[in-house]
Amino acid sequence: MDPVPPTDPEVVVVRYTGGREVVFFSSSVFLPASDYKDSLNPILVASKEKISIIIIIIIIIIIIMDGRKDVIEAWYMDDSDEDQRLPHHREPKEFVSLDQLAELGVLSWRLEADDVDNDKELKKIRKDRGYSYMDLIEVCPEKLPNYEDKIKSFFEEHLHTDEEIRYCLGGSGYFDVRDHSDRWIRVAVKKGGMIVLPAGIYHRFTLDTNNYIKAMRLFVGEPVWTPYNRPHDHLPARKEYVEAFVNKEAGCHAVEAR
């Protein structure tokens, strides 16, 4: 039987399905509401002020628990022509959040790289996004045939007509992507980090000074690794990317400026 809400006119009722709490917000003090029974879930009655504090605490906990920042970090690059394997921070450093990357269509996860075969989250991602193909690649002088040519090719600015999905199982590397203003953002990925670069985004890849990365490559259907070096703005994948992310962002800024 559903509980009867308190008679306080300022009460707000929030229900969470799936076996989670049913919480009542009222002007009374924060305490268990023994007067209200729910067959599955506890009920709490709290003042709006205290609920606000609780919500803030929950948000902070969620941010702290988001371990992606431990394995994926991004920043704007300087214009130096020094060794491409160096970090190339600007001075002062200018970091880019994972939310900002998402605005460019770049998605990210932190997964269990030491237990790939039993990782339920990885299996769910593959199922939800249709990643039926998988292989592994190790990029280092000792393991990658034609290493010098491949590294040079990876660092040429290019796009693909499909997503590029890379899950770092060991080592580390840099994925550079262009922002809406055509500036380079360097995305550093370590063991446990997985990123998805959307079809049509201009990007490039290089190892860092550790000179090693082991990555899982995922793909929808049979893999097509064809790179289209810039410029290839006429490709449908590029036009779709610009429309979905670049023009959309420009439109949002135009609305804000009014």
Amino acid at 245: F
Helix/strand/coil for 147: helix
* Residue 180 is assigned to a ligand binding site: no
Cα–Cα separations (whole angstroms), residue 182 to 76, 84, 110, 157, 203:
11, 18, 27, 12, 11
Residue 161 CB: number of other CB atoms within 10 A?
A: 16
Q: Which two tokens stand for residue 53?
A: 């504090």
* Residue 164 is assigned to a ligand binding site: yes
**Distance of alpha carbon 30 from alpha carbon 53, whole angstroms:** 12
* Residue 89 is assigned to a ligand binding site: no
* Residue 234 is assigned to a ligand binding site: no
Q: Which two tokens stand for residue 221?
A: 């259907």
Cα–Cα separations (whole angstroms), residue 253 to 27, 107, 226, 243, 256:
40, 22, 34, 15, 5
CA-based nearest residue to 237, from 203, 194, 187? 203
Q: Binding site residues, as ranges?
A: 158, 160, 164, 203
Q: Binding site residues for Fe(2+), as ranges?
A: 158, 160, 164, 203
Q: Binding site residues for Ni(2+), as ranges?
A: 158, 160, 164, 203
